[in-house]
Amino acid sequence: MARNRTAVVTMMTALAAFLATPGVAAATSGAMPRVPSAAALTALQHKIDADTPQLRTEGIAIVATRVAADAHTVDVLVAQLNQPVWQALMARYGPALTLEQHDYLHTMDRSNVGPPWPGGMELLGSCVGSTDCIVAGCSAGYTAWQYIQNVRFYYKLTAGHCFTPNTAVTSGSGVPVGHVIQSWFSSGSNADAEDILISPGTQTPKIITSDPTQAMLQTAAPTPSTSGICKSGITTGETCGWGGASGGWTIHLCEDPDCTVFVTLVDQVLATRSSYGIGPGDSGGPVYTYVSGGVRAEGLVSGGSDDGMTITYSFIQDILGTSNLFLCFDLGNGTC
């Protein structure tokens, strides 16, 4: 399992500089500023979210944000928090921030994996518009296949909200993986999934589990498992212990920072765990349970809660039924 280090720097008092932030109400009287309202905090969060792509070009990698109403602050998770980053964010957005480092440390860099292309590796491409894809890329899911006119074609699956159809996708290190052929991400769909056509010989039944270990895909769950669930992704690595899983959820996924555009997915699976285990960039990664000889496919990561303790995913049988694809299982010799 990926390790994480957390460093927390909290500003407890809202100062006058915060009140000068656009969209934030100013104090009306007294020498001390008033506590910012929930609306003001939400406005600040949306501004940070909108600025996230630009901040990344400046070396400030925002992982996630949320409004902490009880603390009267906006929580901002940063991949690497140091004094210059702290000073830059405070100067730009004022002191009503809680800055927290979530530095996910892997023993293997998932940006430079393959070919062949295992599940859980990093994928980059032209993003549909989802914040996690823009900020962190997406994770590869399982390998799938189908026959077309007696020719076998192979695909890499990932989340449908990740990449624009008919565009190229590369590994995290820039090696071409393939082109997005189809996406089933739309309101009313039960499959947040898309397929990337890959070259013969780059297919594999393997997924990255606990870095750098790779496990073989042996089978697919006929119905959603309720416990013992794991997921693999580029941000949080392998996290297990997801339980209490239940299907039939309708999930609204925001397509812009202000959530003015969203897609409604149906029949999604929801599971929880007791600690942080899902983050931006994990979308599209494999969800699985361990079985003899490897893993059993449960689905593909679709979303998660701000606290990282709730995961939503599209069930594997729904994805296969919608796409008319077959999973690439281990043939006993490490190939499929």
* Containing structural domain, residue 270: 122-327
Asked if residue 295 and residue 154 are part of one domain, the reply reads yes
Establish if 279 belongs to a structural domain. yes
**Boundary residue ending a domain (74, 104, 134):** 104
Q: Which pairs from 60-63 meet CB under 8 Å and 24+ separation?
A: 60/85, 60/88, 60/89, 61/135, 62/135, 63/102, 63/135, 63/136, 63/235, 63/279, 63/280
**Grouped pLDDT means (10 residues each) for the chain, 336 residues:** 29 32 34 68 86 84 71 78 90 87 52 88 82 72 94 95 90 92 89 94 92 89 92 90 87 71 86 84 94 94 85 94 92 77
Q: What is the number of structural domains in the chain? A: 2
Establish if 111 belongs to a structural domain. no
Q: What is the spatial distance between Cα 67 and Cα 88, in angstroms, rounded to a whole number?
A: 20
Asked if residue 128 and residue 100 are part of one domain, the reply reads no
User: How far from the centroid of its chain's Cα atoms is residue 15's Cα?
Assistant: 34
Asked if residue 289 and residue 190 are part of one domain, the reply reads yes
Establish if 336 belongs to a structural domain. no
Asked if residue 154 and residue 128 are part of one domain, the reply reads yes
Label each residue of 189-211 as H, E or C: CCCCCEEEEECCCCCCCEEECCC
Asked if residue 127 and residue 88 are part of one domain, the reply reads no
Assign 263 to helix, strand or coil: strand
Cβ distance 144 to 326 under 8 Å? yes
Its pTM surpasses 0.75 = no
Establish if 114 belongs to a structural domain. no
User: What pLDDT is recorded for position 134?
Assistant: 62
Asked if residue 319 and residue 191 are part of one domain, the reply reads yes
User: What pLDDT is recorded for position 220?
Assistant: 95
CATH number, domain at 249? 2.40.10.10
Q: What is the spatial distance between Cα 311 and Cα 169, in angstroms, rounded to a whole number?
A: 25
Asked if residue 176 and residue 37 are part of one domain, the reply reads no
**Boundary residue ending a domain (104, 133, 150):** 104
User: What pLDDT is recorded for position 33?
Assistant: 47
User: How far from the centroid of its chain's Cα atoms is residue 100's Cα?
Assistant: 18
H-run or E-run covering 170: strand 168-171
Establish if 335 belongs to a structural domain. no
User: What pLDDT is recorded for position 143?
Assistant: 97
Asked if residue 160 and residue 280 are part of one domain, the reply reads yes
Asked if residue 211 and residue 282 are part of one domain, the reply reads yes
Establish if 235 belongs to a structural domain. yes
Asked if residue 126 and residue 100 are part of one domain, the reply reads no
User: What pLDDT is recorded for position 317?
Assistant: 96
User: What pLDDT is recorded for position 230?
Assistant: 94
Q: Which residues pair with residue 169 across a beta bridge?
A: 125, 178
Cβ distance 105 to 2 under 8 Å? yes
Residue closest to 288 by CA, chosen among 216, 190, 189, 235: 216
Asked if residue 45 and residue 176 are part of one domain, the reply reads no
Residue closest to 105 by CA, chosen among 210, 8, 3, 211: 3
User: What pLDDT is recorded for position 207?
Assistant: 95
User: What pLDDT is recorded for position 16?
Assistant: 32
Phi, psi of 255 (to 5 degrees): -110, 5
153 CB contacts (<8 Å, ≥6 apart)? 145, 146, 147, 197
Establish if 186 belongs to a structural domain. yes
Query: Which pair of structure tokens corresponds to residue 47?
Result: 């501004």
Establish if 241 belongs to a structural domain. yes
C-alpha angle 147/152/157, rounded to 5°? 85
Rg of the chain over Cα atoms, rounded to whole angstroms, equals 21
Query: Which pair of structure tokens corresponds to residue 5?
Result: 């280090």
Asked if residue 286 and residue 199 are part of one domain, the reply reads yes
Residue closest to 299 by CA, chosen among 234, 264, 247, 252: 247
| pLDDT, tens digit, 9 for 90 and up, residues 139-198 | 999 999 999 999 999 999 999 989 988 899 999 888 999 999 999 988 888 899 999 999
User: What pLDDT is recorded for position 318?
Assistant: 94
Tell which phi-psi region holds residue 282, choosing left (phi > 0), alpha (psi between -120 and 50) or beta: alpha
